[in-house]
Structure 1
Amino acid sequence: MPKLRVLAGPSPDELVDITASVNTNTPHAIATDAWEGQLVVFIKNFNGTEDGDAAEYFGRSDRAGITWSIQTQGRFLSPRSSDDVLFGNIFERPLKLPWGTGAALKFMKYVDPTLSHDLTCTASQKPWALSPLVATMPHLRHGRLPPSSPSCDDTDIADPPFPPQRSLTDDTSSLHLAAPPDIPTRLRSGSPSSSSSSSSTASSRSSRSSDSKKSKKKNKAMQDGVPRSMNSQQRRSYFSSEAHRQAVWLGPEDLITTDFCYGFLEFAPSLRLRLPGGLGFDLARYWDGQGVRFVCCERRQVSTFDHALPVHEPEGSEYEEKEHEGGTGDGEDPWGRVFWCVSIEMGDETDEA
């Protein structure tokens, strides 16, 4: 199959080739006015080779079965609700999906119950699959930084080192300090203000009632506080609640280190998706060449009358029935601003092996 190349940058439109750094502990730095940090990428048997740092990473007992890893460390330069920080895949054009895609999507939903998607282009011509970052990451560590830390090059931020010398494990002991900023509730929730004319309508009353219920749940979550110590499974379960996510805000003093690593994708001898029970797909047959983009982005903020994607999961409802609702309808992307992007693409050379 064609060799692969990996690109990275602050957005899909600002990518640089980092193929030479793949499977090494040499991080790629990204700095914008919204996020600054660094990342590394490990892919098992990448272009038929695996040695050095990659062999050490994939040879760890706690990474047995893992076939790829995207590790990041960084911080947001202005406070953002963790409910509005998403991670996942975005695409520029419709996908050629194989038979059995439904089973694959059910498996993805099982792995990550907070996942929402429109991979079949029901509401947009740009497929996507996104989840709240704090709920979907298999490994996440939060660290609290001094308020005066100027950048990720500061010595306070450089400790612990990146990438970690040992496999990343969860540490949320200081996450309870990531409280919402002291701003009006209307701005914290990201909901638009209502005009006097619309406040008299039934839809507006219903919206205010729904917002009030969400606000009460969020306030209760803030009063209860984030548990001081959670393992990965406990964290992902805790942040499956929208109210819990809205009660945690990430800003300049919050250093987030993540390792998104799984084993259900194989890159050698061919690109293949593996599912439980022996079910699998040869993805190379369906790959049309467009980059597979992993992004950290913000949730697209919309008004009451603009049902853009991805939408919030209504508490206590069947999200599967709602995840394709609406569309942008304005030619804009279904997601908000991208903070960083890693794209895996087909290279120009052909692997003769």
Structure 2
Amino acid sequence: MGKSAADYILRVRAGASYDPTTLQTAYVNDEQNPILIDTPHFTGYLVVRVLNFNGVTPDPSKPLLPNPASNYFHGRNRRYSISIQGRFKKDWNGDEVIFGTDFDTKIRTPTGCGLAMKIAKWLDPALEADLQCEKPWLYSPFVSAMNALAVFDPSSPEIQNPSSSHKHHHSSTSSSSKSNRISPSDPSTALQSLSLSSSQQPPQIGLWSFHTRMVPEDPALLFPNPSSAPTLTAYEKRKKHFGVTQTRSEVTLSSSHIYAMDFYDAYFDFGTLTLKLPGFSVNALRYWDGQPLRFVCRTRKGMGKPRGEDDGTVFFTVVFELVEREGANSSLRRKSLKGVG
């Protein structure tokens, strides 16, 4: 008998490298305790949300969080999201940084993949992809790929004191309302989990500010003269504006600014392993070969080349992978007995 979606559970890992041994299992839907990524290229907080999550947690002794404490998913057509607040450690041209998915080996594409790509290109004209090569990839420019993007000055009250500077857009738990202060405690640490109980002052990226509110749309600081920047108050406007190379090349991802971003997907359901696009749906399990769904924020340099030849610069990665339910449960039980998180 073939495997079904019920035979697998989801594990999400994050980090700043293609090397899977460097990735940390994320506590999905824990908006209070982001992962901190701190490398020579990027430093930032990262939170992953998954609707109706029922997968692997880094610590089996803690309760699983099926959904966020906030109402992030309420009334919104979203299945999962990746939220980041951080800064680049050098300036980058707006056309140089990309975000998307890539794979280590060839993938099986279903009938109708061509139509799906046409829909994707219609949704995002700047999208580039090669799904037939040895290491398939699908990328879009960072400035147009993110569903929400805000750029802040480090002194902005949105970042330094988010609880008092901005009215919350949705509800939070009582513990989150007591303290929003979270910041890197050791800049030399590449990857760690943080807690809102931290009271240390933020050295580089401010306070983790988006556990109880949405990332706003405010990209004005991308432009050399923000006061005369085009009015891009919605994702669709920003995506259209940055749909051509020239306009992307005219902006800078400055190391002196803090970037808040939210990427979400309305089409893939990890619970049923179904991709639902306008007009048709696909049972992804029929075509899955065991590879994870890997999201990468990186530079164009080395894009599409075999790994190891020229990987360019990687800023952060988030890996969604399916593991067999029985094997995962056994592993978690062993860890729990040993007291290992």
- Per the normalisation by structure 2, the TM-score is 0.72
Q: Contact conserved, 1:27 with 1:162, CA < 8 A, in 2?
A: no
What whole-Å deviation, never above 9, does each CA across 1:196-252 have from its counterpart, x for those lacking one?
xxxxxxxxxxxxxxxxxxxxxxxxxxxx96325532221111111211111111132
Q: Percent identity?
A: 32
Distance (Å, rounded) in 1 between the aligned partners of 2:285 and 2:132: 18
Distance 1:336 1:163 in 2: 29
Question: Does the Cα contact within 8 Å between 1:126 and 1:334 map onto a contact in 2?
Answer: no
Query: Which residue of the partner structure matches residue 278 of structure 2?
Result: 276
Question: How far is the alpha carbon of 1:173 from its aligned partner?
Answer: 3.1
Q: What are structure 2's unaligned runs of at least 5 residues? A: 56-63, 156-182, 185-200, 330-341
Q: How does 1:20-59 map to 2 (within 5 A)?
A: 21-25=27-31, 26-47=33-54, 51=66, 53=68, 56-59=71-74
Contact (CA 8 Å) 1:144, 1:253: kept in 2 or not?
yes
The aligned counterpart of 2:256 is 253
Deviation of the 1:137 alpha carbon: 1.2
Residue 58 (structure 1) shift: 1.3
Tell me the amino acid that sits aligned with residue 257 of structure 2: D
Contact 1:5 1:17 in 2 (8 A): no
Tell me, what secondary structure is at the counterpart of 1:284? helix
| Paired position in structure 1 for 2:167 | none
Give the corresponding residue for 1:139. Answer: 148
1:289 corresponds to: 290
| 2: CA distance, partners of 1:229 / 1:112 | 16
- Structure 2 counterpart of 1:221: none
Q: Any stretches of 5+ residues in structure 1 without a counterpart? A: 147-151, 180-223, 302-308, 311-327
Alpha-carbon distance between aligned partners in 1 of 2:228 and 2:244, rounded to the nearest angstrom:
13
| Secondary structure in 1 matching 2:95 | helix
Cα deviation, residue 80, structure 1: 0.7
Number of equivalences? 271
- Distance in structure 1 (CA, Å) of the matches to 2:90 and 2:124: 27
Tell me if 1:17 matches 2:24.
Answer: yes
CA contact (8 A) 1:6 1:344 kept: yes
Output the CA distance in 1 between the equivalents of 2:66 and 2:322: 22
SS of structure 1 residue aligned to 2:212 = coil
Tell me if structure 2 keeps the 8 A contact 1:73–1:257: yes
Kindly provide the amino acid, as one letter, of the partner of residue 6 in structure 1: V
Matches within 5 A, 1:31-180: 31-47=38-54, 51=66, 53=68, 56-59=71-74, 61=75, 64-121=76-133, 125-145=134-154, 153=184, 155=202, 159=206, 161-177=208-224
State how far apart, in whole Å, the 1-side matches of 2:103 and 2:307 are. 15
**Which residue does the alignment assign to 1:262?**
265
Distance 1:225 1:299 in 2: 29
Q: How far apart, CA to CA, are the structure 1 residues paired with 2:251 and 2:54?
A: 40
User: 2:39, 2:240 → 1: CA distance?
Assistant: 31
**CA deviation after TM superposition for structure 1 residue 157, in Å:** 5.4
Give distance in 2, aligned partners of 1:47 and 1:95: 26
340-349 or 167-176, larger mean C-alpha shift: 167-176
Separation in structure 2 between the aligned mates of residue 126 and residue 134 of structure 1, nearest angstrom:
24
Task: Summarize deviations over 1:56-106 as a string: whole Å, max 9, x none.
Answer: 2212x3xx1211101111111011111000000011000011111111111
Is 1:235 paired with 2:250?
no
Q: Secondary structure at the match of 2:214?
A: coil
Aligned to 2:319: 343
**Offset of 1:158 from its aligned partner?**
5.4
| SS of residue matched to 1:83 | coil
- Cα deviation, residue 144, structure 1: 2.0
Write out per-residue CA displacement over residues 2-49 of structure 1, whole angstroms, 9 at most, x where no aligned residue: 111111111120533324x11111211111111111111111122277
User: Which residue of structure 2 lines up, in the alignment, with residue 200 of structure 1?
Assistant: none
Structure 1 residue aligned with 2:191: none
Given the superposition, is the C-alpha separation of residues 247 and 166 from structure 1 closer, same or farther in structure 2, using an over 3 Å criterion? same
Runs of 4+ in 1 over 6 A off after TM superposition: none
How far apart, in 1, do the equivalents of 2:307 and 2:202 lie? Answer: 43
Secondary structure of the 1:129 match is: strand
RMSD: 2.9
In 2, Cα distance between the equivalents of 1:287 and 1:45?
Answer: 22
Q: 2:10 aligns to what?
A: 4
Residues 175 and 228 in structure 1, CA contact (< 8 A), matched pair in contact too: no
Separation of aligned partners in 1, 2:102 and 2:69: 26
TM-score for the superposition, normalised by structure 1: 0.69
In 1: Cα distance, 2:15 partner to 2:148 partner: 22
Corresponding letter in the other structure for 2:121? K
248-257 or 75-84, larger mean C-alpha shift:
248-257
